[in-house]
Structure 1
């Protein structure tokens, strides 16, 4: 791969601590075209993202087993996912912006090594308190995923950025979904603790690979101190309407996503279905198929079709709940609903990231952090709400909740569409 020239970044700050926009991202190569990130490195980043994010989703198909071992009530078991997501949100705010300040290679390797220690802690936890502490650190360090996404967006050529972000982000969603399959199989074979010990070993290997493969980038925003860096995240919401609007949409779609995936284990593991962990985890394969189908949404965003893609995907998301509501009567209907829901969520997510990562090249880590904080809030909200609703009102009530959140996302997009026009809305 041809060596990328350094970005021409303006480092003068305004009073808000956010740098002025840059108009030139990198110089052109001799061929007249900005070289993009190689496919092999892109796929490696996607795999690394999938592994890192899977660490915070292994628990979802294991909630009943973990609850039984540690004596946690079903109505409260969602706290495991909630604590992880809250710490993930903290990491998004406190750690991801460092990608605009520090060498991303050193940052990601350090975070992955800490993850290894946290995963071992969970796998060896003697009680629920130690287990929750380990889960909290796992969530905090899992934000390395967003450092990878900003890294990929920086190295990609502008014309290919949506495509690259789509591929890397597909690794994230597939990692989330296949985490359930992985966790289910290994729990049936060797117990739930083995899931975390194996992941610790894989994460250690990936950290070594990242150390050898990723290039140094040096400081990205030399004139910005850490406190100003954090304040600038909030200012970006004020200065960039697309960030705030897409962040709210992310909150809603990932609330719906979490409503399904956190609570799904409960009806599937209960009579009359009484499925094994392996069978429950296999539904992640259906979700992964939907996510893969949506990976090309970034290319549509590159062509200016982001708003149109978002609208269609949100309609699909709303409709998916009809099939999902039949889960206790037809597993085939559930599979169709799962594929549709994960297709829709991934399509909107990729489109949103492609749109926000185009506005300020020098602030990509902070843009990603701000956006993903809303994602994490949505995931935590969905986890708590779904298990509570299921415990008190059953599966149909869970599906009605998911449909209501999905309808709200569609309505919000329709009302704010004109505030973030792209070429498909201008025509």
Structure 2
């Protein structure tokens, strides 16, 4: 298979897998009604799915530095399929939360594929290739919100997850046929050594720590928005259904379109150039939406700014960390993405509680507090090593 076609296939596979994490967002109001729980409790679904994903990154993604990646990807797809069926079948809220956590843990395929793409790409094209794969991931996020909203209204929210489980089995078969064998660069490690090696990697790579905390804070501000948007749009003056709420995900096309551009810039210049702009853009988005959330046109503009900023920042940060150590990209990606989704889960959880207590103002203040962490980490990074004019 030509390299360009393989990268495209990786992008599609990544998008199909990551969609599992986002099916629940437009459905939270329906889930709250079904289980007779408050919006704050329903927000735990998104939070625990993200915590599960972070756990899966910690436990499963390091295996990509130990075992053949194609087998790992197929196994994770099949385990995800089983977990999705349990999500769709759960009738008790506590079991439902546990099933979402487990499903999130197995849905770590994207972060196995992205380092493989980075390994296969020439150094001068790595940012561009990562950008293409990340575009597939972002489109998967957008499609997840739209499809789950419409399917949830038409067929019931449980069937969203049942159908997603069938899709994961189909992708496992496609990967078996199409995906090339990909051996790790450090096959001499055993699993416990790989897990223990995360500590020395963190201690020896201060830029990884700063990038991870910055990325986690940005994603926390992003997750705070998308977790509570369902509740905001279900309330006055909107009173939208899940189908309509899911369509708001299409506004993130702007974010998906910026990924290859950010990747090209990261190939040519210090990635922190685009990261600086990203943090500012996300801040502007929240300061804009805070007082104007009752106006549809204002929310549309804010969503576009938010997605542009967060996705450009993600590409910039990943290009930055992948350049650190070629022999441990899967483990470096593990550290970064675990931090990223811990930040996302904190954003979801804090924002859900803030919505219950203080409405949209509480959500906005929570997001801005998370962004303050991004500013601090980014400034520390710039002080330690000033921006270069070119790479």
Relative to the length of structure 1, the TM-score reads 0.88
* Structure having the higher Rg: 1
1: CA distance, partners of 2:112 / 2:378: 27
1:238 aligned partner? 203
In 2: Cα distance, 1:347 partner to 1:93 partner = 24
Tell me by how many angstroms 1:422 deviates: 5.5
Contact 1:318–1:407 (8 Å) recurs in 2: no
Higher helix share: 2
- In the TM superposition, 1:15-414 aligns within 5 A as 38-414=3-379
Gaps of at least 5 residues in structure 2 are none
Query: Structure 1 residues 86 and 76, CA, compared in 2 at 3 Å: closer, same or farther?
Result: same
Change (3 A) 1:99 1:383: same
Mapped partners of 1:247, 1:213: distance in 2: 33
How far does residue 219 in structure 1 lie from its aligned partner after superposition?
4.4
TM superposition shift of 1:178? 2.7
Work out whether residues 58 and 195 of structure 1, in 8 Å CA contact, stay in contact via their aligned partners in 2.
yes
| Distance apart, 1:260 and its partner CA | 0.4
Q: CA RMSD in A?
A: 1.7
* Residue 326 of structure 1, CA deviation: 4.5
Shift, 1:414, TM fit: 2.0
C-alpha distance in structure 2 between counterparts of 1:187 and 1:229, whole Å: 41
Shift of 1:252: 0.5
Deviations 1:28-60 (A, max 9, x none): xxxxxxxxxx22211211111111111011111
- Higher mean alpha-carbon deviation, 416-425 vs 120-129, is at 416-425
Deviations 1:54-93 (A, max 9, x none): 1011111111111111122222222112221222111111
Distance between the aligned counterparts of 1:90 and 1:56, measured in 2? 13
Please identify, of 331-340 and 282-291, the stretch whose mean Cα deviation from structure 2 is larger: 282-291
What TM-score results when the alignment is normalised by the length of structure 2?
0.96
Distance 2:81 2:60 in 1: 17
Quote the Cα distance in structure 2 between the aligned partners of 1:314 and 1:400: 16
Q: Is the 8 A contact 1:390 1:397 kept in 2?
A: yes
Shift in Å, 1:132: 2.1
Deviations 1:93-151 (A, max 9, x none): 11100001100000000000111111111112232233223212210111111001011
Counterpart CA distance in 1 for 2:54 and 2:135 is 20
SS at match of 2:139: helix
Shift of residue 421 of structure 1?
Answer: 4.9
Assess if the C-alpha contact under 8 Å between 2:132 and 2:259 holds in 1.
no
Distance in 2 between the 1:376 and 1:90 partners? 9
Deviations 1:376-405 (A, max 9, x none): 111110111111111111112212222332
1:306 is displaced (CA, Å) by 1.0
Matches within 5 A, 1:407-422: 407-421=372-386
Number of residue pairs the alignment of both structures matches: 391
Gaps of 5+ in 1: 3-37
The list of structure 1 runs, each at least 4 consecutive aligned residues, that deviate by more than 4 angstroms after superposition, is none
How far the C-alpha of 1:276 sits from its partner, in A, is 1.1
CA contact 2:134–2:259 (8 Å) conserved in 1: no
Q: Is the 8 A contact 1:170 1:346 kept in 2?
A: no
